[in-house]
Structure 1
Amino acid sequence: MHLELIVLAAASVLLVGMLVFSELGRRLAAARLARDPKGVKGTGSAAAAVFGLLGLLLAFTFSGAAGRFEARRHLITEEANDIGTAYLRIDLVPGPAQPELRALFRRYVDVRAVTYRQSSLADSQARLAEAADLQARIWAAALAGCRRPEAATPCTMLLLPALNAMFDITTTRAMATENHPPLVIFLMLAALSLVGALLVGHDMAANRERPWLHPIVFATIISLSVYVILDLEFPHLGLIRVDSADHVISDLRSTMD
């Protein structure tokens, strides 16, 4: 199953679960109210504590997800800059060795531009493996070119460090895509959301008619917030994507023709 469907399913399950817990809380309070009309009072402090903790957890989780989203966008720009710098320094390689390097660079940029646009993790892993193979071929071709008798001294001093930076940023981006909060944070967020829904239903037990608006609005807002957080955490596979920043790599590729 695609990750975006998993995220959507998780948010939908949370929405349904909150509505169920809201109804459960209403029924529990109604049963207690029938036995003791004053028994449902005095729960305001507990509800305030739960909702306060839920709000804090939502705020910090959203802030962290948004920060990681922006960091991933900046890494795309950084990679484009590193590739552009290394490509320009191919001019330091003797002329006969340049065509092979430039062809390898063009292929490498083509692969990097679509690596994180794949619809499945397996496809992304295949593109990462292809990029690693191209890195090895680019490095070998660069070494061979810099070792040619007619190669200038700056070839080794300037081109090889630029290639190192170009290769290293791929690892940085790969690790950034795997940088997420621990699973326990999301489980705690879901648990607090369900408890909050339970308390919302509990506080509405005194109404004669079944209140639908407040539980539905509360459940919808919380589940939508959780969906946005999860979408930000996986920005290549959901509705909120960093693909718009990939155009810098595509623009760089157009200058290599």
Structure 2
Amino acid sequence: MNLLPKLPLWLDGIILVLCCLLSSEVGQWLHRKVSAWRPDKREEQGRLDMEGFIIGSVFGLFAFIVGFTFTIALDRFDTRRVIVSEEANAIETSFDRAEILDDAQRFPLQIAIRNYAHTRISPLGTWDAEKQAQLERSQHLREQLWNVTRNSVLPYRGTDLGVSVAESVADVLNVGRRRELAGTAHIPDRVMDALILYLITSSALLGYLTASQPYRLRAASSLLFVLMALAIVLILDLDRPRGGSILVPQTALENTIADLDKAVLPARPAQPLR
């Protein structure tokens, strides 16, 4: 279960801060009730030392959980970034190897590779119907590319040249599938839910332990809530490859496509999608 719906990141941040403030108020209310029922008669200095130890331990563990979750999100981001470069290299390699074929086999294959490459630049911004249509067109062209490859290497079957060209195109298709899978991989919901629940519980505990402290200390805890919410929002941003503000650069693919467009190929009417 995902406790934080797929809302805009700024709205997620506001919701987290409000939850922290509300939890802190609940903790302060609970402290007043407990104090009225069972007054604490320990020495003030000893009590403050114990409260400081508890607060430090709780938020130290929170920092560990945030760091662990951030590492997961950053690893997934790095994976998506590397795959873009891998796909650009695979497309360029397959296009160059197709250059060795005779014109009758080379031109259809290079045209198919170039058409497919144009659909591999990931759209920026939130995911919508237009971008979903681009993904579906890319998947259709992937099937078309393999059919063209099979026909182009048929005269060279059993030769090293045919195997080399077929393998290079297969690498293009495989890395494309890996990239699409990486774009749908997210931090497990249980991990994010545990992080958010820990944040809310820690806020309530902080409110409970600082209820009897001066107002300026309790006001400073509000700034702490904002900082903790920002840390979680950053994790959510990294975990949203299709809708976050931290996006994977497409420079490698853009440069590759620009090079492919410089190649002089015969005009070929676009085939309707089926």
So what's the TM-score if we normalise by structure 1?
0.86
Could you tell which deviates more after superposition, 179-188 or 68-77?
179-188
Q: Distance in 1 between matches of 2:6 and 2:96?
A: 38
Question: Which residue of 1 is the match for residue 75 of structure 2?
Answer: 67
Q: How far did 1:254 drift?
A: 0.8
**Counterpart Cα distance in 1 of 2:86 and 2:159:** 27
Q: Hey, what does 1:141 align to over in structure 2?
A: 148
Residue 254 of structure 2 is matched in structure 1 by 250
1:107 aligns with 2:144: no
Return the match for 2:245 from 229, 239, 246. 239
Which residue matches 2:191?
Answer: 185
8 Å CA contact retained: 1:72, 1:176:
yes
**What is aligned with 2:19?**
17
What whole-Å deviation, never above 9, does each CA across 1:92-138 have from its counterpart, x for those lacking one?
Answer: 22112322222222221111013x53631544443232112112222
- 1:132-179 alpha-carbon deviations (Å, 9 max, x no partner): 211222222222222248x99343111000011100001111121222
CA distance in 2 between partners of 1:9 and 1:88 (Å): 48
Q: Is the 8 A contact 1:22 1:215 kept in 2?
A: no
For the residues of structure 2 that align with 1:123 and 1:46, how far apart are their CA atoms? Answer: 52
Q: Partner residue of 1:215?
A: 221
Counterpart secondary structure, 2:253: helix
Contact between 1:18 and 1:194, CA under 8 Å: does it hold in 2? yes
Q: 2:235 aligns with which of 211, 223, 229?
A: 229
> Which residue of the partner structure matches residue 85 of structure 1?
93
Call closer, same or farther: CA 1:35–1:100 in 2, change over 3 Å.
same
Please, which of 166, 169, 176 is the counterpart of residue 163 of structure 1? 169
SS in 1 for 2:126: coil
CA contact (8 A) 1:119 1:237 kept: yes
Query: What's the CA shift for 1:84?
Result: 0.6
**C-alpha distance in 1, partners of 2:244/2:182?**
16
* One-letter amino acid of the structure 2 residue matched with residue 95 of structure 1: D
1:30 to 32, 35, 40: 32
Answer yes or no: is the 8 Å Cα contact 2:126–2:244 preserved in 1: no
Report the residue type matching 1:106 in the other structure: R
Identity over aligned residues, as a percent? 24
Matches within 5 A, 1:25-64: 25-38=27-40, 41=47, 46-64=54-72
Contact 2:97 2:164 in 1 (8 A): yes
Q: How many residues are treated as equivalent by the alignment?
A: 251
Contact persistence 2:149–2:166 (CA under 8 A): yes
CA shift in 2, pair 1:209/1:33, >3 Å: farther
Note if contact 2:28-2:211 (Cα within 8 Å) is conserved in structure 1.
yes
Gaps of 5+ in 2: 262-274
Higher helix proportion (structure 1 or 2): 1
* Equivalent position amino acid for 2:167 in 1: P
1:236 deviates by 3.6
Distance 1:254 1:208, change over 3 A: closer
- Tell me if structure 1 keeps the 8 A contact 2:210–2:218: no
CA deviation after TM superposition for structure 1 residue 44, in Å = 5.5
1:203 equivalent among 203, 209, 220: 209
Q: CA RMSD in A?
A: 2.5
